[in-house]
Amino acid sequence: MALSVTLWNEFRHEKNMDACKEIYPDGMHTAIAAYLEKHTDFRIRLASLDEPEHGLTQDVLDDTDVLTWWGHAAHHEVEDEIVERVHKRVLAGMGLIALHSSIHSKIFLKLMGTTCSLKWREAGEKERLWVVSPGHPIVDGIGECIEIEHTEMYGEHFDIPAPDELVLVSWFPGGEVFRSGCCFTRGAGKIFYFRPGHETFPIYYQEDVLKVITNAICWASPVDGPEFKRGNVEPLEPLSPAS
Ligand code: ZN
Q: Which of 33, 103, 99, 111 has its CA nearest to residue 70?
A: 99
Distance 199 CA to ligand 1 centre (A): 6
Distance 70 CA to ligand 1 centre (A): 10
Residue 68 lies in a domain: yes
Contact 71, 116 (CB under 8 A): no
Residues with CB under 5 A from ligand 1 (ion): 101, 152, 198
Distance 179 CA to ligand 1 centre (A): 15
Distance 101 CA to ligand 1 centre (A): 6
Number of domains in the chain: 1
* Three-state DSSP state, 72: coil
Distance 187 CA to ligand 1 centre (A): 29
Residue 97 lies in a domain: yes
Residue 195 lies in a domain: yes
Distance 48 CA to ligand 1 centre (A): 18
Distance 100 CA to ligand 1 centre (A): 6
Residue 225 lies in a domain: no
Residue 233 lies in a domain: no
Distance 71 CA to ligand 1 centre (A): 10
- Quote the domain boundaries for residue 99: 4-115+181-220
Q: Which of 207, 209, 177, 211 has its CA nearest to residue 196?
A: 209
Residue 43 lies in a domain: yes
Residue 226 lies in a domain: no
Q: How far is CA 87 from the centre of its chain?
A: 13
Sequence-separated (6 or more) residues with CB below 8 Å from residue 56:
6, 8, 47, 67, 82, 85, 86
Distance 72 CA to ligand 1 centre (A): 7
Amino acid letter for position 175:
G
Sequence-separated (6 or more) residues with CB below 8 Å from residue 4:
42, 43, 45, 63, 64, 65, 66
- CA distances 194 to 4, 18, 65, 173, 235, Å, are 20, 25, 18, 20, 44
pLDDT tens series, the chain, 243 aa = 899 999 999 999 999 999 999 999 999 999 999 999 999 999 999 999 999 999 999 999 999 999 999 999 999 999 999 999 999 999 999 999 999 999 999 999 999 999 999 999 999 999 999 999 999 999 999 999 999 999 999 999 999 999 999 999 999 999 999 999 999 999 999 999 999 999 999 999 999 999 999 999 999 999 998 888 899 999 999 998 876
Residue 121 lies in a domain: no
CATH code (residue 42): 3.40.50.880
Contact 182, 167 (CB under 8 A): yes
Distance 231 CA to ligand 1 centre (A): 44
Sequence-separated (6 or more) residues with CB below 8 Å from residue 221:
3, 65, 66, 95
Please tell me the pTM assigned to this model.
Answer: 0.96
